[in-house]
């Protein structure tokens, strides 16, 4: 058995992972008992703050130098079918779990005044999302993983469809259709893996040595499932629609955590379960990543709608993540992981700011909001900080991530690096365009300007602090994830061994005859 698959019992006396999954879920149920809207807001805030504090022992007791899964919880679920309730975290999932719990209270704070009708229901949805997202990152049983993966759709669909903008129905349906279509392939892959492994347990599957053909198809099926979520060009068109229509909290969750489900899956499942196929197929992902970086950036440059601009910038940023993964070297992996965290903090912050502008002017158009920033110094401070981070300004978190991704790319080949660098330039262009229009532009109605209040400070400040901290000191995250990433690289074969042309023609042959 590979060390990656070892299961370490929790040093804590209580099931910490279940606690942070189910505390918000139970909280969502309890909201049914609360009638008052203001109370429901406070209740949700307290629940998610508690959840965050309960997740901190994970960081305190995590042994960075130990491979395998820690804080494992294992219970038989449906014994006859090899189904277990199996949870655990390792160096890849821990940062994402903490990101999720960290941003929980922020999503409540930004919905405080934004949501004016059906407040309780909205809060319940936010709590549910929180629990389910955590579940996605800690589930080690593939069926459980799939359950959380799909369950995510329900509260997210409701968030967009009920509290969204004018075209919310369209956006919500598009979101669900895209994700469901991708999920079918994910399910297919899981069944395929079960057939070979005889168990749904991911640690057991790690012991598989599949034939290259199997790996190829498993890889493809998983990839399609994850690519929709990431989203990779050309499967990205649901994202701008969903982002634009979703309420602020929905956008924050989407951008900060939900997209990471895809790249997490890519790193966790594709690379470890189909290493041979990964090496052969990585160059194709690379191409799509470069396209995402450049095309996403150019699209972002052309937007007049602030949320759309940020949404397309997400496409480009996630392109950096997939690029980092696809170059298959240590720097790329580290960069991809950091970029996931940093994009979560940065883009989350930008969506918060876009939401605040919307609350003031009831418009997301750049032209309507132009020049308002100079009347709101506190707002501009954060807009500047998050914009700089988004364009990977040195000293902000995204710089380190992007720098490592670029190092990975240049390490892979100078030519690849040369393709990606313009993406960094375009990022600067669209971010400055937005920032400068909002601060210096002309056309906004000055009467609508109102600087951010204490609650808004409270939601913007914590991620901003982390943005700066990780900009200079990413060592804690790197320390946690380095051993796992090294182990994943260690499993990859050195040479490409799949002859793609032969593989496809063989498969077609089998398919047609």
Partner 1 sequence: MVEQTTFSILPVLIVTVSLVGAGLIMLFRDNPNRRETVSVVTGVVKFLMVLAMVPPILHGQVIRCHIVEVLPGCSLVFRVDGFSMVFALISSFLWILTSFYSIGYMRGLKEHAQTRYYTCFALTLSGALGVAMSGSLFTMYLFYELVSIFTYPLVMHHEDGEAKWGANKYLVYLMGTGKLFFLSAVVITYVISGNLDFGPHGILPADANPTLLIVLFVLFVAGIAKSGVIPLHSWLPSAMVAPTPVSALLHAVAVVKVGVFCVARVIYSVYGPELMQRLGLVMPSAYFFSATILIASMIALTHDNLKARLAYSTVSQLAYITLGFALVSVNSMTGGAIHIANHAFSKITLFYCAGAIFVATGKKYISELDGIARSMPITMTAFAIGAFSMIGVPGTAGFISKWFLGLGALDDHSLLLLVIILTSSLLNAGYFLPIIYRAFFFKQKSEDRHLREAPLFMVVPLSVTAALTIFFGFFPQPFLRLIAEVLS
Cβ 426 to partner 1 shortest distance, Å: 9
Q: Residue 284, interface with partner 1 (CB under 8 A)?
A: no
CB atoms within 10 A of CB 425: 10
DSSP letter (8 states) at residue 71: E
Identity of the residue, 224 or 409, whose beta carbon is nearer to partner 1 in the bound complex: 409
Cβ 476 to partner 1 shortest distance, Å: 12
Q: Residue 418, interface with partner 1 (CB under 8 A)?
A: yes
Residue of the chain from 421, 458, 489, 492 that contacts partner 1 (CB under 8 A): 421
Dmax (CA) for the chain in angstroms is 72
Residue of the chain from 440, 450, 461, 465 that contacts partner 1 (CB under 8 A): 440
Q: Residue 411, interface with partner 1 (CB under 8 A)?
A: yes
Identity of the residue, 425 or 461, whose beta carbon is nearer to partner 1 in the bound complex: 425
Q: Are 66 and 82 in contact (CB under 8 A)?
A: no
Identity of the residue, 283 or 417, whose beta carbon is nearer to partner 1 in the bound complex: 417
Residue 7, helix vs strand vs coil: strand
Identity of the residue, 374 or 491, whose beta carbon is nearer to partner 1 in the bound complex: 374
Residues forming beta bridges with residue 76, ordered by sequence position: 84
Q: Residue 188, interface with partner 1 (CB under 8 A)?
A: no
Identity of the residue, 46 or 469, whose beta carbon is nearer to partner 1 in the bound complex: 469
Q: Are 110 and 249 in contact (CB under 8 A)?
A: yes
Q: Are 369 and 438 in contact (CB under 8 A)?
A: yes
Q: What distance, in Å, lies between the first and last C-alpha atoms of the chain?
A: 39
Residue of the chain from 428, 468, 489, 503 that contacts partner 1 (CB under 8 A): 428
Gyration radius of the chain's alpha carbons: 22
Identity of the residue, 26 or 421, whose beta carbon is nearer to partner 1 in the bound complex: 421
For residues 264 and 267, give the distance between their C-alpha atoms in angstroms, rounded to a whole number: 5
Using alpha carbons, select from 115, 126, 127 the residue that is nearest to residue 165.
115
Cβ 429 to partner 1 shortest distance, Å: 8
Q: Per CB under 8 A, which of residues 348..407 are in contact with partner 1?
A: 388, 393-395, 400, 403-404, 406-407
Cβ 251 to partner 1 shortest distance, Å: 27
CA angle 265, 270, 273 (to 5 degrees): 120
Identity of the residue, 173 or 428, whose beta carbon is nearer to partner 1 in the bound complex: 428
Cβ 472 to partner 1 shortest distance, Å: 5
Determine whether 321 is exposed, middle or buried from the number of CB atoms within 10 Å of its CB (0-12, 13-18, 19+). buried
Q: Residue 109, interface with partner 1 (CB under 8 A)?
A: no
Residue of the chain from 422, 457, 468, 492 that contacts partner 1 (CB under 8 A): 422
- Going from the C-alpha of 319 to that of each of 291, 312, 343, 386, the distances in angstroms are 8, 11, 11, 19
- Going from the C-alpha of 39 to that of each of 77, 127, 513, the distances in angstroms are 36, 15, 65
Q: Are 419 and 286 in contact (CB under 8 A)?
A: no
For residues 97 and 210, give the distance between their C-alpha atoms in angstroms, rounded to a whole number: 30
Cβ 473 to partner 1 shortest distance, Å: 5
CA 287 to chain centre: 21
Q: Are 271 and 191 in contact (CB under 8 A)?
A: no
Residue 317, helix vs strand vs coil: helix
Q: Are 101 and 126 in contact (CB under 8 A)?
A: no
For residues 241 and 236, give the distance between their C-alpha atoms in angstroms, rounded to a whole number: 10
Residues forming beta bridges with residue 201, ordered by sequence position: 141
Identity of the residue, 414 or 504, whose beta carbon is nearer to partner 1 in the bound complex: 414
Residue of the chain from 284, 432, 493, 500 that contacts partner 1 (CB under 8 A): 432
Stretch that binds partner 1, among 57-65, 128-136, 176-184, 465-473 (CB under 8 A): 465-473
Binding mask 130-149 for partner 1 (x = CB under 8 A): --------------------
Cβ 17 to partner 1 shortest distance, Å: 31
The residue count for binding partner 1 (CB under 8 A) is 29
Q: Per CB under 8 A, which of residues 470..489 are in contact with partner 1?
A: 471-475, 478
Identity of the residue, 231 or 373, whose beta carbon is nearer to partner 1 in the bound complex: 373
Cβ 425 to partner 1 shortest distance, Å: 4
Residue of the chain from 54, 147, 170, 410 that contacts partner 1 (CB under 8 A): 410
For residues 383 and 386, give the distance between their C-alpha atoms in angstroms, rounded to a whole number: 5
For residues 77 and 290, give the distance between their C-alpha atoms in angstroms, rounded to a whole number: 43
Q: Look at strands 7-9 and 69-78 and give their pairing.
A: parallel
Cβ 436 to partner 1 shortest distance, Å: 8
Cβ 11 to partner 1 shortest distance, Å: 29
Q: What residues make contact with partner 1 under the rule CB under 8 A?
A: 388, 393-395, 400, 403-404, 406-407, 410-411, 414, 417-418, 421-422, 424-425, 427-428, 432, 436, 440, 471-475, 478
């Amino acid at each position: 058995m590979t060390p990656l698959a070892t299961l370490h019992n929790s040093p804590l006396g209580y099931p910490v992972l279940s606690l942070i999954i189910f505390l918000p879920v139970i909280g969502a149920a309890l909201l049914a008992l609360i009638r008052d809207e203001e109370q429901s807001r406070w209740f949700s805030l307290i629940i998610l703050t508690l959840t965050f504090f309960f997740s901190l022992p994970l960081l305190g007791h995590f042994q960075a130098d130990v491979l395998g899964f820690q804080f494992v919880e294992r219970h038989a679920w449906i014994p006859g079918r090899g189904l277990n309730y199996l949870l655990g975290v390792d160096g890849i999932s821990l940062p994402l779990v903490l990101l999720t719990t960290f941003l929980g209270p922020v999503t409540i704070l930004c919905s405080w005044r934004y949501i004016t009708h059906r407040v309780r229901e909205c809060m319940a949805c936010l709590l549910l999302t929180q629990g389910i997202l955590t579940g996605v990152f800690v589930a080690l049983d593939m069926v459980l993983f799939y359950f959380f993966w799909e369950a995510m759709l329900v509260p997210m669909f409701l968030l967009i469809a009920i509290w969204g903008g004018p075209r919310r129905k369209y956006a919500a349906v598009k979101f669900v259709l895209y994700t469901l279509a991708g999920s079918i392939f994910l399910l297919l892959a899981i069944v395929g893996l079960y057939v070979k492994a005889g168990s749904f347990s991911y640690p057991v599957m790690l012991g598989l040595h599949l034939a290259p053909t199997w790996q190829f198809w498993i890889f493809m099926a998983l990839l399609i499932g994850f690519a929709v979520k990431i989203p990779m060009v050309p499967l990205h068109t649901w994202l701008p629609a969903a982002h634009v229509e979703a309420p602020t909290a929905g956008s924050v969750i989407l951008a900060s955590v939900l997209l990471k489900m895809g790249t997490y899956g890519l790193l966790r499942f594709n690379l470890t379960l189909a290493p041979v196929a990964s090496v052969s197929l990585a160059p194709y992902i690379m191409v799509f990543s470069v396209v995402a970086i450049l095309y996403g950036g150019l699209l972002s440059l052309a937007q007049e709608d602030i949320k759309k601009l940020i949404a397309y910038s997400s496409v480009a940023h996630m392109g950096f993540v997939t690029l980092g993964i696809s170059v298959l070297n240590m720097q790329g992996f580290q960069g991809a992981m950091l970029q996931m965290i940093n994009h979560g903090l940065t883009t989350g912050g930008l969506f918060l700011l876009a939401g605040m502008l919307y609350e003031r002017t009831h418009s997301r158009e750049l032209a309507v909001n132009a020049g308002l920033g100079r009347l709101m110094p506190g707002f501009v401070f954060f807009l500047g900080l998050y914009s700089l981070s988004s364009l990977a300004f040195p000293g902000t978190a995204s710089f380190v991530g992007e720098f490592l991704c670029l190092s990975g790319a240049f390490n892979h080949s100078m030519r690849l690096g040369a393709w990606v660098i313009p993406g960094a330039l375009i990022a600067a262009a669209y971010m400055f365009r937005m920032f400068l229009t909002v601060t210096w532009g002309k056309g906004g109605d000055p009467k609508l300007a109102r600087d951010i209040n204490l609650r808004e400070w409270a939601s913007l400040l914590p991620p901003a602090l982390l943005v700066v901290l990780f900009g200079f000191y990413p060592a804690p995250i790197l320390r946690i994830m380095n051993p796992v990433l090294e182990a994943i690289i260690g499993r990859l074969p050195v040479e490409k061994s799949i002859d793609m042309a032969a593989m496809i023609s063989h498969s077609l042959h089998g398919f047609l005859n």
